Amino acid sequence: MLVDELKSFLHGDVAVDDATLAKFSRDYSLFKVRPQMVVFPKDVDDVKNLVKFAAKKKAEGEDVSLTGRSAGTDMTGGPLSQSIIVSFTKYFNHIHEIKEEARDQKRPGMAGTDAAASLEAGEAKAEPGVYYRDFEKEAAKHGLLYPSYPASKDLCAIGGIVNNNSGGEKTLAYGKTEDWVRAVKIVMSDGEEHTLWPWRGEELERKLEEKNFEGEITRKLKALIEENWDVIQKAKPDVSKNSAGYYLWNVWDKEKGIFDLTKLIVGSQGTLGMLTEAKFGLVKIKKHSRMAVIFLNDLKWAGDLVEEVLKFHPESIESYDDKTVEVAVKLWRQVLKSMKGNAIKLGFQFLPEMWMVATGGMPKMILLVELAGDDEAQLIKRLDQLKRDIEFFGASHGGIKVRTLKNEEDEQKYWTIRRQSFALLHNNTTGKDTAPFIDDFVVKPEYMPEFLPKVNAILDKYKNDLIYTIAGHPGNGNFHIIPLMNLKDPRVRALIPKISEEVYRLVFQYHGSITGEHNDGLIRTPYLEEMYGKKMVELFAEVKKIFDPLGIFNPGKKVGGDLKYSVEHIAATQ
Ligand SMILES: Cc1cc2nc3c(=O)[nH]c(=O)nc-3n(C[C@H](O)[C@H](O)[C@H](O)COP(=O)(O)OP(=O)(O)OC[C@H]3O[C@@H](n4cnc5c(N)ncnc54)[C@H](O)[C@@H]3O)c2cc1C
């Protein structure tokens, strides 16, 4: 039996009991896929031996594969598999180092504003199974923060952040995970652990000469990128954040002569190997932050408004829509539970929203703008100036109101609605299930005024079958729509590929990406060809073959997606 064979060489554990298999059949996606077994490797030797074992079985014609898993909060089905799940949170949960150092953190080609330039900061090394919430506390003791944490920061772990190329509320200012990973340790298909970092000059020359697996993949990948240079550069999505596909355009910086394989590993959803350690950059926590809330009645000004706000180099611009407020007002008891403080006092804070819902005076979009800095007086000045400028902008555009908030207590209500929007839907009492499938698309912010009403028009056609809200990161044009649907009904489940197709066709018309943060998994891999074209998808398949010729790692994600398989594995109830 496979289990006995595994037990004979593993230092860690193997589980095949019902409870474990049921737990690992799910992540936070729509899907349910029951694995054959779950392995908890204890050390790097375990991971190496697992890969060698899978390679041997593959060579003997057995259908065995390995799917890495950290905290399992993926919304795409990324950590699900019918074969072996390799779970990292049990033993690979050590922070090796958090180091303060003063050096310029400006990153080449950084997407957002220049807020991260010339910060004093540090670096950390951690194993994939470290929960972000634990890491955050340790880093804070050094006054440091990993700036590309996702909204799921209290649940997720480092391995998933790296493998999904996660981003979050501070991505606007600091960029995504791809901008912060400095090096990775990864067990590749040769069954050995490799350390990858940006190679240049003589180091790169030497690497290209090496007569081993690392040398071979470096040579093959460099040749693939050079031979297909124009196609690859052209395929880069015209948006400031993207988690779809393999980011081939990031690997070879010809001008600087840097060849960086970590750029390919980040966001690859465990399809190229098993991550065993990551080294990443950190920023210094700014001492003060303040928030302005902007109420927008007409979406047609959203793009221009965001441009005005960006002049103030905000830490974040987050948004939610009128429907999110309606859900929050309906479920206000749950909202209050997630807020700290006196429930009655907090309850009163919701009166304006309740009034807006009752009178139909709800703004179409609410923007939360966070400014931060070390000098509080300067910060308040900037915030006041932002208020004046936006009011001036509003005077000529109409339907815009601004409130600046004085303290954290005032801010709490707005953050709770934004951050808890998914949890609120998830715990809803309508009897419907949360259905993340068009949960993460991106278009350039300037297209928002045209684009969002068109998305609304598509979804409104299906309003008998779904309830939806829109929240997101308008500074990057990245939106999260997670409808409530009755997934017990096969007719409703069949709407998922239909609506996806309609929404994604629109996204492609605006040269956007199907995912800014959450990645591809089972839900979006089948749409990569439509997004990138046939040639790019062929290149993705070649990349996969270079790294993983036997197909050991996480099959069906990034390459070889099968829409029929995905639809068949939608769980009939969440
Ligand atoms: C409420 C909620 C909000 C969210 N908000 C965001 C957000 O703002 N931004 C965002 O980016 N995402 C978000 N997500 C999605 C998800 O939480 C993040 O992408 C998170 O970083 C995943 O981390 P994880 O540890 O749970 O990864 P997992 O779910 O365990 O895995 C994610 C992927 O990485 C692979 N993987 C994990 N560990 C390894 C390893 N050691 N080796 C190889 N492969 C591995 C898995 O196979 C899978 O494909 C959200 C999810 C929820 C439920």
Rounded to 5°, angle at Cα 565 from 245 and 5: 90
113 CA from centroid of ligand 1 (Å): 25
| Chain centre distance of CA 47 | 25
271 CA from centroid of ligand 1 (Å): 14
Q: Whose CA is nearest to atom 9 of ligand 1?
A: 150
Three-state DSSP state, 132:
helix
Q: Of all atoms in ligand 1, which is nearest to the CA of residue 88?
A: 41
pLDDT in 10s for each residue of the chain, 574 residues = 889 999 999 999 999 999 999 999 999 999 999 999 999 999 999 999 999 999 999 999 999 999 999 999 999 999 999 999 999 999 999 999 998 874 544 444 333 333 333 334 799 999 999 999 999 999 999 999 999 999 999 999 999 999 999 999 999 999 999 999 999 999 999 999 999 999 999 999 999 999 999 999 999 999 999 999 999 999 999 999 999 999 999 999 999 999 999 999 999 999 999 999 999 999 999 999 999 999 998 888 888 899 999 999 999 999 998 888 887 777 766 666 666 666 666 666 766 776 666 666 778 899 999 999 999 999 999 999 999 999 999 888 877 889 998 888 788 888 888 877 777 777 766 778 889 999 999 999 999 989 999 999 999 999 999 988 889 999 999 999 999 999 999 999 999 999 999 999 999 999 999 999 999 999 999 999 999 999 999 999 999 999 999 999 999 999 999 999 999 999 987 6
Alpha-carbon span 555 to 80, nearest angstrom? 10
Q: Which residue in the block uniquely carries the two structure tokens 């830490």?
A: 315
| Per-position b or e across 376-404, b if 16+ CB within 10 A of its CB | eeebbebbeebbeebeebbeebeebebeb
530 CA from centroid of ligand 1 (Å): 24
474 CA from centroid of ligand 1 (Å): 22
- In this prediction, residue 106 carries a pLDDT of 46
85 CA from centroid of ligand 1 (Å): 15
State the burial class of residue 270 (Cβ atoms within 10 Å of its Cβ: 0-12, 13-18, 19+): buried
> Hey, how many other C-beta atoms are within 10 angstroms of the C-beta on 487?
19
Which residues does ligand 1 sit against, CB inside 6 Å?
27-28, 67-75, 78-79, 88, 128, 150-152, 156-157, 159-161, 163-164, 166-168, 269-270, 274-275, 422, 517-518, 554
> Of 496, 430, 429, 443, which Cα lies nearest the Cα of 474?
443
Residue of 29, 81, 134, 152 best suited for mutating to test ligand 1, as the one with most atoms within 8 Å of CB: 152
The pTM (predicted TM-score) of the whole model is 0.93
> What tokens appear for 86 in the block?
């390799």
95 CA from centroid of ligand 1 (Å): 18
162 CA from centroid of ligand 1 (Å): 8
| Kind of pairing between the strands at 400-404 and 466-467 | unpaired
> What tokens appear for 66 in the block?
């390995």
78 CA from centroid of ligand 1 (Å): 8
> What tokens appear for 65 in the block?
């594969």
Rounded to 5°, angle at Cα 548 from 544 and 554: 80
| Chain centre distance of CA 154 | 14
| Per-position b or e across 520-556, b if 16+ CB within 10 A of its CB | bbbbbbbbbeebbeeebbebbebbbebbbebbbbbbb
For 338-414, list the strands marked E by DSSP.
Answer: 365-373, 400-404
- In this prediction, residue 391 carries a pLDDT of 93
Alpha-carbon span 514 to 481, nearest angstrom? 12
- In this prediction, residue 107 carries a pLDDT of 45
| Structure confidence by residue, pLDDT tens digits, 36-90 | 999 999 999 999 999 999 999 999 999 999 999 999 999 999 999 999 999 999 9
Alpha-carbon span 370 to 432, nearest angstrom? 34
Residue of 89, 163, 480 best suited for mutating to test ligand 1, as the one with most atoms within 8 Å of CB: 163
> Residues near 153 by Cβ (< 8 Å), separated by ≥ 6?
132, 133, 136, 168
Rounded to 5°, angle at Cα 465 from 463 and 467: 60
Q: Whose CA is nearest to atom 52 of ligand 1?
A: 152
Three-state DSSP state, 125:
strand
Residue of 44, 74, 554 best suited for mutating to test ligand 1, as the one with most atoms within 8 Å of CB: 74
| Structure confidence by residue, pLDDT tens digits, 382-437 | 999 999 999 999 888 877 889 998 888 788 888 888 877 777 777 766 778 889 99
Q: Of all atoms in ligand 1, which is nearest to the CA of residue 131?
A: 25
Q: Are 158 and 127 in contact (CB under 8 A)?
A: yes
